[in-house]
Amino acid sequence: MPDRDASSVSDREIAHFDQLAATWWDPKGSMRPLHEMNPMRTEWVDRHLQRLQSLRGGRIELLDVGCGAGLASEAFARMGHDVLGLDASGEGIRAAEAHLAAHPLPEGSGHLAYLHGNAESLAREGRSFDAISALEVIEHVNDPQAFLALLHSLTKPGGLVAISTLNRTLRSLAVAKIGAEYIARLLPVGTHDWQKFIRPDELHRMARNAGLRMIDVAGMSYRPMHWRITRDTSINYIAMFVRD
């Protein structure tokens, strides 16, 4: 069982993303790579969510853990899912709420709400969800194994958990860390710690130990201004798990 009194989030990481909150929704700003990646990753997740929705016979409730200022949360809600966006960054949640107030969701969207806090607090309340997304999050937590166990505890039986992250390879060090942060300046310096990147086999093993079964994995490859799903998991990848 996860330690529900220990925070999965790092104070240093929270402070870093607090500083980025004001420009999070600027598609040409510091979060430009996320803006470019977001349609591809949310559409990939949605294909799995649609199948789950068919099985459950109605709209599903999704918890978006580490939602930042709500890029993925808004996209999932526009796809018709009921979404709770959760983040430990207070500035991020304020930016998410401000953007939603200024840009209301269109008719036919799911319900969208935001919560400033951590997943441990929801676990203590006994909350559970049909599906959970944790996109570009696990490489920022204190203990990935405990984090996966926490996500398991928040997922209903038969529910889905989507995780996207970065592989720990020499190629990802060169491209996603040194290239993106120090050369191309696509991301603020200090956004990532390469040592905390997770190989797909490591994620698979930790998830299995937490009671989550991997059912799909795909690479996310970047070409200038365009992301696509590929078989190449050497840098970015996304995986789907089911709680049996």
Distance, in Å, from the CA atom of 138 to the CA atom of 8, rounded to the nearest integer, reads: 9
Q: Average pLDDT for residues 136-156, to the nearest whole number?
A: 96
Q: What integer pLDDT is reported at residue 8 of this predicted model?
A: 73
- pLDDT per residue as tens digits for the range 35-57: 999 999 999 999 999 999 999 99
What are φ and ψ of residue 218, in 5° steps? Answer: -150, 150
What pLDDT score does 74 carry? 98
Q: Which domain holds residue 19?
A: 11-243
Distance CA 90, CA 107 (A): 28
Does residue 71 lie in a domain region?
yes
Mean predicted confidence (pLDDT) in 147-171: 96
What CATH code is carried by the domain that includes residue 214?
A: 3.40.50.150
Count of structural domains within the chain: 1
pTM of the model: 0.91
Query: Is 173 part of any domain?
Result: yes
**Residues 69-100, buried b or exposed e (16+ Cβ, 10 A)?**
bbbbbbbbbbbebbbbbbbbbebbbbbbbeeb
Question: Is 66 part of any known ligand binding site?
Answer: yes
Check the annotation: does 41 bind a ligand: yes
Given pLDDT bands bounded at 50, 70 and 90, which one contains residue 190?
Answer: low
Q: Is 208 annotated as a binding residue?
A: no
Radius of gyration of the chain (CA): 17
Would you say 18 is a known binding-site residue?
no
- CA distances to 23, 132, 166, 194 from 201, rounded to whole Å, are 34, 21, 12, 17
